């Protein structure tokens, strides 16, 4: 308490003295550039050199150190920027955007007690029994996708691993689990790619417009889907959610709205993140001579390779939290409502937590924050690992001489780190 009273909101000291808010601007531009998307390590090092807490040019702070990020993610007094927080802000244009408003109603943007109530009602979405039941179908999907990959390589000499395999496995998995028609998968992927623009740190007006249209399309699609499941009252997951919430809510419209928001959130959260993990995983194994062969001879290390890929190149690089009360973080006083941006990528590569952090080392047994922490720990962490394990196990067997034709290409974003293309041959 004494330290909190003695510190001042404007004081932010680094090893070189007080940090100007403009210092982060060129670094963030580089992080969003093609070079920064391909290799963010120099930017992470320069940001961390400014301190564990770096003032952002638009207000708030970038959190770069592992311990500070972990404290924010696990701390009960750190909240997500919900409607109550948004209403207390002076500049509301960003928060009034349709896509932002819609996502603010989903589980990822709720705080206790509503977040607690909804999460408890769901139980463990992907518990051990559920994952065990899903595994055979995921393995069958992997086999079919690798058949398609092999055919493309035979026909054209190379293929885009990202579009043929990485994007298709997650939509097939979550689509089957939710009972979505396969014919709708391409449409859902397009809507999801466009919707996440609104979740960038500073989306442009054109990005918000694209995201708004995608959000309205997603609302229409999933509202109709929920209505159909209510009418049929089957044994599928969505129908089960409807029955669960009917028992908790007297208003059926409120139930259907809740289930629509949950279905949309689970779909969006499952697709781009897992797809990028799969592409990044394969790229990290193919980019260094001998690494693919090493794992083929030592498949017992597959899980460690997956964890290292999650640490080295997290699919979500940045997430935001707000201080629920006056607090001190990394020695800096932060008043209630201050927003901070947890930089997963920078935290995972903090040398104080993971020595030699810019080296991809599956045997390091390091730690990472890629799945978040605390109340908002990723619901689909176990499912993402299962999909990655199933893919890598069969891919190593089917393609002993797989090689990358060119480095991956990325969407120009800082938050949702999407691999748009990865050309491979065998």
**Looking at the domain assignment, is residue 232 inside a domain?**
yes
- Indicate whether 149 and 59 sit together in one domain: no
Query: Residue 363 — φ and ψ, nearest 5°?
Result: -95, 10
**Looking at the domain assignment, is residue 114 inside a domain?**
no
**CATH code assigned at 4:** 3.30.43.20
- Indicate whether 148 and 230 sit together in one domain: yes
Each residue of 34-71: pLDDT tens digit? 999 999 999 999 999 999 999 998 889 999 999 999 99
**Looking at the domain assignment, is residue 393 inside a domain?**
yes
For residues 43 and 27, give the distance between their C-alpha atoms in angstroms, rounded to a whole number.
6
For residues 167 and 270, give the distance between their C-alpha atoms in angstroms, rounded to a whole number.
10
**Looking at the domain assignment, is residue 311 inside a domain?**
no
- Indicate whether 79 and 186 sit together in one domain: no
Residues contacting 246, CB < 8 A, separation 6+:
252, 255
* pLDDT computed for residue 13 by the predictor: 44
Query: Residue 249 — φ and ψ, nearest 5°?
Result: -120, 140
- Indicate whether 322 and 412 sit together in one domain: no
- Indicate whether 123 and 217 sit together in one domain: yes
Q: Evaluate whether 43 touches 31 at the Cβ level (below 8 Å).
A: yes
- Indicate whether 224 and 173 sit together in one domain: yes
- Indicate whether 267 and 143 sit together in one domain: yes
Give me 356's structure tokens: 């030699």
**Looking at the domain assignment, is residue 107 inside a domain?**
no
* pLDDT computed for residue 369 by the predictor: 97
* pLDDT computed for residue 205 by the predictor: 85
Q: Evaluate whether 107 touches 118 at the Cβ level (below 8 Å).
A: yes
**Looking at the domain assignment, is residue 125 inside a domain?**
yes
- Indicate whether 409 and 426 sit together in one domain: yes
Q: Evaluate whether 389 touches 142 at the Cβ level (below 8 Å).
A: no
Peptide bond into 113 cis (omega under 30): yes
- Indicate whether 418 and 284 sit together in one domain: yes
Count the domains in the chain: 2
Give me 403's structure tokens: 């090689």
Q: Evaluate whether 366 touches 347 at the Cβ level (below 8 Å).
A: no
Instruction: State the number of CA atoms in the 13 A half-sphere of 153 facing the CB.
Output: 21
Range of the domain at 290: 119-302+376-426
Query: Residue 317 — φ and ψ, nearest 5°?
Result: -90, -25
Question: Of 369, 384, 403, which marks where a domain is finished?
Answer: 369
CB atoms within 10 A of CB 47: 25
pTM of the model: 0.91
**CATH code assigned at 262:** 1.10.630.10
For residues 99 and 139, give the distance between their C-alpha atoms in angstroms, rounded to a whole number.
35
Helix, strand or coil, per DSSP, at residue 81: coil
- Indicate whether 265 and 130 sit together in one domain: yes
* pLDDT computed for residue 31 by the predictor: 92
**Looking at the domain assignment, is residue 102 inside a domain?**
no
- Strands laid side by side in the 159-160 sheet: 159-160, 423-425, 403-404
- Indicate whether 361 and 386 sit together in one domain: no
For residues 97 and 118, give the distance between their C-alpha atoms in angstroms, rounded to a whole number.
24
**Looking at the domain assignment, is residue 104 inside a domain?**
no
* pLDDT computed for residue 92 by the predictor: 65
CB atoms within 10 A of CB 417: 23
Tens-digit pLDDT string for the chain (426 aa):
222 223 333 344 443 346 788 889 999 999 999 999 999 999 999 999 999 999 998 889 999 999 999 999 999 999 999 999 998 887 666 778 888 888 889 998 999 999 998 888 888 889 999 999 999 999 999 999 999 999 999 999 999 999 999 999 999 999 999 999 999 999 999 999 999 888 888 788 888 899 999 999 999 999 999 999 999 988 899 999 999 999 888 899 999 999 999 999 999 989 999 999 999 999 999 999 999 999 999 999 999 999 999 999 999 999 999 999 999 999 999 999 999 999 999 999 999 999 999 999 999 988 999 999 999 999 999 999 999 999 999 999 999 999 999 999 999 988 999 999 999 999
- Indicate whether 132 and 3 sit together in one domain: no
């Amino acid at each position: 308490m004494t330290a909190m009273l003695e510190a001042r909101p404007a004081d932010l000291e680094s090893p070189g003295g007080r940090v100007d808010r403009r210092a982060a601007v060129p670094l963030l531009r580089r992080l969003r550039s093609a070079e920064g998307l391909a290799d963010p390590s120099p930017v992470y090092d320069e940001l961390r050199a400014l301190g564990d807490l770096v003032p952002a040019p638009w207000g708030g702070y970038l959190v770069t150190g592992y311990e500070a990020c972990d404290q924010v993610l696990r701390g009960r007094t750190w909240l997500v920027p919900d409607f109550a927080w948004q209403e207390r802000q002076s500049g509301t244009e960003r928060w009034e955007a349709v896509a932002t408003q819609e996502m603010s109603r989903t589980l990822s943007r709720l705080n206790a007690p509503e977040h607690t109530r909804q999460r408890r009602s769901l139980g463990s979405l992907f518990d051990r029994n559920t994952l065990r039941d899903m595994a055979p179908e995921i393995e069958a999907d992997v086999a079919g996708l690798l058949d398609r990959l092999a055919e493309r390589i035979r026909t054209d000499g190379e293929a885009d691993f990202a579009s043929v395999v990485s994007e298709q496995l997650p939509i097939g998995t979550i689509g089957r689990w939710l009972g979505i028609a396969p014919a709708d998968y391409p449409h859902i992927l397009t809507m999801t790619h466009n919707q996440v623009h609104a979740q960038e740190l500073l989306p442009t007006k054109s990005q918000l417009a694209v995201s708004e249209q995608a959000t309205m399309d997603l609302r229409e699609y999933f509202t109709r889907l929920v209505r159909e499941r209510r009418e049929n009252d089957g044994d599928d997951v969505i129908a089960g959610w409807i029955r669960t919430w009917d028992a908790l809510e007297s208003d059926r419209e409120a139930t259907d709205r809740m289930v629509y928001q949950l279905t949309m959130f689970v779909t969006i959260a499952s697709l781009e993140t897992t797809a990028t993990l799969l592409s990044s995983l394969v790229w990290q194994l193919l980019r260094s001579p001998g690494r693919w062969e090493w794992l083929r001879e030592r498949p017992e290390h597959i899980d460690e390779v997956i964890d290292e890929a999650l640490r080295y190149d997290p699919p979500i690089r940045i997430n935001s939290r707000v201080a629920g009360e006056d607090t001190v973080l990394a020695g800096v006083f932060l008043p209630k409502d201050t927003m901070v941006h947890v930089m997963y990528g920078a935290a995972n590569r903090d040398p104080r937590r993971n020595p030699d952090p810019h080296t991809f080392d599956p045997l390091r047994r390091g730690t990472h924050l890629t799945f978040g922490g605390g109340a908002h720990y990723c619901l689909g962490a176990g499912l993402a690992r299962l999909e990655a394990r199933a893919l890598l196990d069969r891919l190593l067997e089917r393609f002993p001489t797989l090689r990358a034709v060119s480095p991956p290409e990325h969407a120009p974003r800082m938050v949702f780190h999407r691999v748009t293309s990865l050309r491979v041959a065998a």
